[in-house]
Amino acid sequence: MNQQEIKEKLKGALQAAIKDEFKSNSEILMISLCTTDGFHIHSERTDAFDLEETKMSAMSSTLFSLSKACAEIQKGNTLNIATVETENTHFFFLKTDILNLNCVLSFAVHSKLSLAQGRFHAKRLSEKLGNLPKEVIPG
């Protein structure tokens, strides 16, 4: 496989993994993957999330980077997950590295799911995405 083929294959696998997770639970409202500098990679969302993808990506990268700066006010602290709670929805923003591409995974669940349950789903997907290159790329 050449570089381009690997890239396509990896992209397909990322999309499939995000789609599967999204379909796995009806309380998952939105999943979006973008680079830390705010470029959109793939999203799944319910109709309630009427949002332009590039804007969601820009917001995710900004929110993540501000949260990171906030976390690092305390010496030695690093950010794992930024959480936003609203009455109806819990949002999680997770650092997700796919090979050497630094990404942010945005994950929204209905507040019927507890924070812990939502975080569990989000973290599991983040880890899965991070491990995909090992599964997809030969050698």
Partner 1 sequence: MNEQYLKLAIVGQVGAGKTTLIKTLSQIDPLQTEAKASQDIGKEFTTVGIDYGRINLEEDLAVGLYGVPGQSRFSFIWDTVSKGLWGLVFLVKYDPQAHYEELKEFLAFFLTKDKNVACLVGLTHSENIDQKNLIKAFDTLQSLMSSHKMNVPVFPVDPRSKDSSRLILNTINTLGVREA
Total residues at interface with partner 1 (CB under 8 A): 19
At 53, give phi and psi (nearest 5°): -65, -40
- Please tell me what DSSP assigns to residue 73: T
* Interaction residues for partner 1, span 66-85 (CB under 8 A): 66, 68-69
Contact (Cβ atoms closer than 8 angstroms) between residue 15 and residue 8: no
CB of 5 to partner 1, least distance (A): 20
Instruction: Identify the residue among 1, 16, 23, 62 touching partner 1 (CB under 8 A).
Output: 62
CB of 72 to partner 1, least distance (A): 10
CB of 44 to partner 1, least distance (A): 20
37 touching partner 1, by CB under 8 A: yes
Sequence letter at residue 18: I
54 touching partner 1, by CB under 8 A: yes
59 touching partner 1, by CB under 8 A: yes
11 touching partner 1, by CB under 8 A: no
Helices 115-136, 3-24: inter-axial angle, 10-degree rounding = 150
> Residue 32 is encoded by which pair of tokens?
């979006």
- Long-range contacts of the stretch 10-13 (C-beta < 8 A, 24+): 10/98, 10/99, 10/132, 10/133, 10/136, 10/137, 11/41, 11/42, 13/132, 13/135, 13/136
Q: Which stretch binds partner 1 (CB under 8 A): 21-29, 61-69, 110-118, 123-131?
A: 61-69
133 touching partner 1, by CB under 8 A: no
At 115, give phi and psi (nearest 5°): -55, -45
Residues that bind partner 1 (CB under 8 A): 35-39, 54-55, 57-59, 61-63, 65-66, 68-69, 101-102
